C-alpha cells in the first residue's frame, strides 16, 4: 500500500515526505518534479514568499540512479527563508519570545489550534497549518503521477473560476492539457482577464479571493474502489484527499450538487452497446458509481475559500490579553487558486496511486504494469 507522510514547518528548515509502498523499478524524472514545484509557485495574485523560495526536490533515500528500490522514498524541499527565521524557529534552541502571533486570524487554524494544543502563541500552530506544507506534497504527488503514468493513467485540471467569475463551458481532457493558461490556470482568456481584475481589486482593498478547480482522470479502468466498506469507496477517498488540502471547503463528483436538482433520467448515465463495445453517451456520474470507477473519466471539482490572512485584518481577540484586536497580517497571497489547482492534482495523484496499488499489488513495476494491462 502506498502511504504518504509529510513533516516540516512553514519557516522551519524544510518540508519533508516519506512515500512508503512504491514498487521497485519506477523511473523517476526529477526535472518534472521541479517543474511542477515551479508551477505551484506561479499564478496571478501570489505573494512575496514566492520570490524568496525557488523550490526544488532533493531525493534522500529509496532511489538509486533515478529508479525506485522498493524501500521508502524520502524527499525534501528546503526552505531558503529559514535563514531569516533561524533565530526564532531553530529546533535546537531559539528565541520564542519574538515573532509571536497572538491576535488570531479568523478562518485560520490559529484559534482552534491554541484551544487544542494550549498556549497563547499561534506560531506553534500556524507554522504547520500553513499551505507552505503543500510544497512537499506536490513533489510527492508528482512521484505518484509518474507511477500512474506508467499504467496509462493521466491527471489534469484547470481553474474553473475565481470569486464570482466562473467558466461554465465544458472541455475535454486534451483541450485542458494543451490550453490551460500559465497566468491563472484558466481556459477562457477573456474570463481570465476579468479574474485578474478581480484579484487587483481585492489586493487594493486588502482583501483575498478563492475559486473553483476542476480535475480530470483519464485511463483509469473500471473496478477501482469498493462498495463493500465505506472506507474503500473511491469517491469518499478522493473527496477526503481533496478536502485535506488547506482552504478547500467543498468537493463535487460529476454533476455534484446539481444532481439533487434533476430527475433521475437527467442524472444517470445510460449504458449502450453496438454489439461489440459497451459505451455511454454521457458522464454525469463523473466516472464513479457505487464507490467504484466505471471506466469513464473521473471528474471532480473543489471549492477553495479566500485565504484567511487579510492585509486589512479582521476583528478578533488577542489570546494573550483577552482584548479585542485586529487579526495579524502575516505575509500572504491575495489569491492562490492556480497553486491550489496544482496541489489538488498532487493530492489526487497520491490517493489514486494508493488505490491502484491496493488492487494491483506487486513489488516491481513490471508486475504492476502487467496486472493493470490484464484488467478488462
Q: Using CA atoms, how far apart are residues 57 and 37, in angstroms rounded to an integer?
A: 8
59 secondary structure, DSSP code = E
Is residue 313 pLDDT above 90, yes or no? no
Q: How many domains does the chain have?
A: 1
DSSP line for 16-74: EEEEE-PPBTPBP-HHHHHHHHHHHT-STT--THHHH-----EEEESEETTEE-SSPEE
Question: What residue numbers bound the domain in which 264 lies?
Answer: 3-374
Of residues 356 and 333, the one with the higher pLDDT is 356
**Cβ(223)–Cβ(293) below 8 Å:** yes
pLDDT tier, 54 (very low <50, low <70, confident <90, very high otherwise): confident
Percent of the chain whose predicted confidence (pLDDT) is above 70: 98
155 secondary structure, DSSP code = E
pLDDT tier, 49 (very low <50, low <70, confident <90, very high otherwise): low
CATH number at residue 368: 3.60.150.10
pLDDT at 331: 66
Tens-place pLDDT, residues 139-175: 999 999 999 999 999 999 999 999 999 999 999 999 9
Tens-place pLDDT, residues 81-124: 999 999 999 999 999 999 999 999 999 999 999 999 999 999 99
Q: Using CA atoms, how far apart are residues 240 and 232, in angstroms rounded to an integer?
A: 12
Name residues whose C-beta falls within 8 Å of residue 105's C-beta, 6 or more positions apart in sequence: 122, 308, 309, 310, 314, 316, 327, 328, 330
Tens-place pLDDT, residues 56-86: 999 999 999 999 999 999 999 999 999 999 9
Tens-place pLDDT, residues 272-292: 999 999 999 999 999 999 999
Amino acid at each position: 500500500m502506498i502511504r504518504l507522510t509529510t513533516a516540516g514547518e512553514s519557516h522551519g528548515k524544510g518540508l519533508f515526505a516519506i512515500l512508503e509502498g512504491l514498487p521497485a523499478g519506477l523511473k523517476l524524472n526529477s526535472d518534472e518534479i521541479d517543474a511542477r514545484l515551479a508551477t505551484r509557485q506561479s499564478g496571478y495574485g501570489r505573494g512575496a514568499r514566492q520570490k524568496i523560495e525557488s523550490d526544488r526536490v532533493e531525493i534522500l533515500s529509496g532511489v538509486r540512479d533515478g529508479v525506485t528500490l522498493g524501500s521508502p522514498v524520502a524527499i525534501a524541499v528546503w526552505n531558503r527563508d529559514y535563514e531569516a527565521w533561524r533565530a526564532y524557529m531553530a529546533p535546537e534552541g531559539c528565541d520564542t519570545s519574538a515573532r509571536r502571533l497572538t491576535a488570531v486570524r479568523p478562518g485560520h487554524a490559529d484559534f482552534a489550534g491554541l484551544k487544542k494544543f494550549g498556549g497563547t502563541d499561534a506560531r506553534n500552530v500556524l507554522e504547520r497549518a500553513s499551505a507552505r506544507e503543500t510544497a512537499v506534497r506536490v513533489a510527492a504527488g508528482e512521484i505518484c503521477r509518474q507511477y500512474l503514468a506508467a499504467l496509462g493513467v493521466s491527471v489534469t485540471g484547470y481553474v474553473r473560476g475565481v470569486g464570482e467569475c466562473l467558466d461554465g463551458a465544458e472541455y475535454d481532457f486534451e483541450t485542458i492539457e494543451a490550453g490551460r493558461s500559465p497566468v491563472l490556470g484558466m481556459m477562457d482568456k477573456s474570463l481570465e482577464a476579468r479574474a485578474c481584475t478581480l484579484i487587483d481589486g481585492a489586493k487594493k482593498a486588502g482583501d483575498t479571493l478563492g475559486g473553483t478547480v476542476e480535475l480530470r482522470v483519464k485511463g483509469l479502468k473500471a473496478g477501482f474502489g469498493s462498495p463493500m466498506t465505506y472506507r474503500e469507496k473511491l469517491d469518499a477517498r478522493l473527496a477526503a484527499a481533496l478536502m485535506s488540502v488547506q482552504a478547500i471547503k467543498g468537493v463535487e463528483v460529476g454533476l455534484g450538487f446539481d444532481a439533487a436538482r434533476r430527475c433521475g433520467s437527467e442524472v444517470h448515465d445510460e449504458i449502450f452497446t453496438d454489439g461489440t463495445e459497451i459505451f455511454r453517451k454521457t458522464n454525469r456520474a463523473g466516472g464513479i458509481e457505487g464507490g467504484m470507477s466505471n471506466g469513464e473519466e473521473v471528474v471532480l471539482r473543489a471549492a477553495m475559500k479566500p485565504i484567511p490572512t487579510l492585509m486589512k485584518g479582521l476583528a478578533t481577540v488577542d489570546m494573550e490579553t483577552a482584548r479585542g484586536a485586529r487579526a495579524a497580517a502575516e505575509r500572504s497571497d491575495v489569491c492562490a487558486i492556480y497553486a491550489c489547482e496544482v496541489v489538488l492534482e498532487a493530492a489526487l495523484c497520491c490517493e489514486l496511486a494508493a488505490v491502484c496499488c491496493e488492487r494491483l499489488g506487486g513489488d516491481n513495476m513490471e508486475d504492476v504494469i502487467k496486472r493493470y494491462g490484464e484488467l478488462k
